[in-house]
Amino acid sequence: MNAIQPLIDKASDLIKRADYLELKKPSIKSIPKFIRKVKAELNFLLALENRNVPPKDNQLQSTNLTHLETVLSAAESLPDVTDIFCHKHYTDDYEFKKTLGVDIISNNGAVWVKVTARKGHALHRIWEGEGDYGDKDIVEQALEYKKVASEHPIKFIVPQVHVIFFNGVTSAIQGELHSVGIATHGHVLDDADDHRNDTVPSFDWSVLKELKVVTENDPRQNKVNLDVTTMIALTSNLTHDGCWYSYPECNPINKQALEERQRPQLTCLYNFMKGKRLFACKTAVEGFKDNVNTVGGPTEQARAERLLSKVTVMDDCISTRTQEHIWSNKIKERSKIIFGTGDFYEMVTLSANASFVRSANKHNVLYAVEIHQSRAFTEQKEKEINSMAVDKKDLFSRITLEHILKDVLNPR
């Protein structure tokens, strides 16, 4: 039998599975990169087949398809995967700039996953120092993941490191990893060498589907820093039935009204804000008050007063990295103060200011943020309107500011 054909078939199947995964979960980055890696393996195999010379064993063993298949199976099974084969920059102990390749990032960034398809006892021998030249110790690799993860927190929480052992893990390695806070998944093997040829049970991918990261007990996850744009969205008439009007000669607001009819923003904000305590810095509160008093209507002003009764006002206190960063002249000082204060107090900033976040990201200043769509005050403009844009629909199910404030924590 042609020894190459099964590998060619496997590579072709991996490409089909990856294409389907990209279609099913478009939020996952780097799937095209994964496909390119598989295609490189496929081209290598096709070149071997075309030589009309039986391939050597080491040529077939050099293929990386098993590892690629394991990574793809994990990505298909893990919850909320955001990236595959991504690169994270860090500084090593000697102050050299280096890059770590992370197999999978899941749980919306809260979990970094290392995948290995090597046999458990082979990994054990390498760990004990009996491997061949160039063999990598899985424990050292996992510890590197842990170190680099500590430099890339997600919303001020350091990502957890998990290692998937497709072909088993010895109890000694598992114990070593657990002792430093690294989770493992895979069949646990006896450490003894005389079991190294034992058949390892098939990996149960279903156990990864329910992988959860508990952060509820972290007090930083129960606070939210409100931007001016968020406070406007929370109190605007546009998010309280004003979206059903047509606003003559005001295309930006008509666009927001259409977006609001399609995707009510208070529902999105409620899902993020419930159970949290609301904070805003003095600059944000002053900016919001000026805005609502200038262009807001009486109902919007009343909502603003109700919202601010639930908000704890913080002194402006900008984080060091915000102060030291060289910003574009297009970036407003108010934005730097609001995001910088949330960064200083280690709070997630809730905002519609996506342009500020993009500008910061370009220069590797990654803030803990939750972005929503922008909404404007519209009550004063409604006086000029005689009719609705469309028939009102589903008003009974729309969330209001009062629904949100009922389920946030009281200030203290």
> Domain of 358: which CATH number?
3.40.50.1010
What CATH number does residue 112 fall under? Answer: 3.40.1350
> In this predicted model, what pLDDT tens digit does every residue of 21-47 receive, in sequence order?
999 999 898 999 999 999 999 998 888
Residue 397 and residue 283 share a domain? yes
pLDDT at 320 (0 to 100): 94
This prediction has a pTM of 0.78
Residue 283 and residue 340 share a domain? yes
Residue 69 lies in a domain: no
SS3 assignment, position 407: coil
Query: pLDDT band at residue 59, thresholds of 50, 70 and 90?
Result: low
Residue 41 lies in a domain: yes
Residue 165 lies in a domain: yes
Residue 245 and residue 189 share a domain? no
End position of a domain, from candidates 63, 88, 105:
63
Percentage of residues in the chain having pLDDT higher than 70:
91
User: If you average pLDDT over every residue of the chain, what do you get?
Assistant: 89
Residue 372 and residue 319 share a domain? yes
pLDDT at 250 (0 to 100): 78
Residue 379 lies in a domain: yes
Residue 257 lies in a domain: yes
User: What does the block give as tokens for 328?
Assistant: 């574009």
> In this predicted model, what pLDDT tens digit does every residue of 313-362 receive, in sequence order?
999 999 999 998 888 888 899 999 999 999 999 999 999 999 999 999 88
Residue 68 lies in a domain: no
The answer to whether the CB of 211 falls within 8 A of the CB of 230 is no
Q: In 17-149, where do the E strands start and end?
A: 83-91, 97-106, 111-119
What is each CA distance from 302 to 101, 287, 305, 336, 397, in whole angstroms?
Answer: 52, 16, 5, 28, 22
Residue 190 and residue 102 share a domain? yes
Average pLDDT of 267-281? Answer: 95
Query: pLDDT band at residue 278, thresholds of 50, 70 and 90?
Result: very high
Residue 224 and residue 97 share a domain? no
Query: pLDDT band at residue 221, thresholds of 50, 70 and 90?
Result: confident
User: What does the block give as tokens for 187?
Assistant: 């069949």
Average pLDDT of 247-251? Answer: 78
The residue segments making up the domain with residue 396 are 219-406
pLDDT at 275 > cutoff 90: yes
pLDDT at 203 > cutoff 60: yes
Residue 209 and residue 111 share a domain? yes
Residue 306 lies in a domain: yes
3-state secondary structure the chain: CCCCHHHHHHHHHHHHHHHHHHHHCCCCECHHHHHHHHHHHHHHHHHHHHCCCCCCHHHHHCCCHHHHHHHHHHHHHCCCCCEEEEEEEEECCCCCEEEEEEEEEEHHHCEEEEEEEEEHHHHHHHHCCCCCCCCCCHHHHHHHHHHHHHCCCECCECCEEEEEEEECEEHHHHHHHHHCCCEEECCEECCCHHHCCCCCCCCCHHHHCCCCCCCCCCHHHHEEEECHHHHHHHHCHHHCCHHHECCCCCHHHHHHHHHHHHCCHHHHHHHHHCCCEEEEEHHHHHHHHHHHHHHCCHHHHHHHHHHHCCEEEECCCCCHHHHHCCCCCCCCHHHHHHHHHHHHCCCEEEECCHHHHHHHHHCCCCCCEEECCCCCCCHHHHCCCCCECCCCCCHHHCCCHHHHHHCCECCC
Residue 226 and residue 157 share a domain? no
Residue 324 and residue 255 share a domain? yes
End position of a domain, from candidates 213, 231, 256:
213
pLDDT at 51 > cutoff 90: no
The answer to whether the CB of 157 falls within 8 A of the CB of 216 is no
pLDDT at 1 (0 to 100): 43
Residue 80 and residue 41 share a domain? no
Residue 83 and residue 5 share a domain? no
pLDDT at 168 (0 to 100): 94
> In this predicted model, what pLDDT tens digit does every residue of 382-410 receive, in sequence order?
877 655 556 665 554 579 999 999 999 88
Q: How many structural domains compose the chain?
A: 3
Query: pLDDT band at residue 381, thresholds of 50, 70 and 90?
Result: confident
End position of a domain, from candidates 167, 188, 213:
213
Residue 199 and residue 278 share a domain? no
pLDDT at 396 (0 to 100): 46
Query: pLDDT band at residue 127, thresholds of 50, 70 and 90?
Result: very high
Residue 411 lies in a domain: no
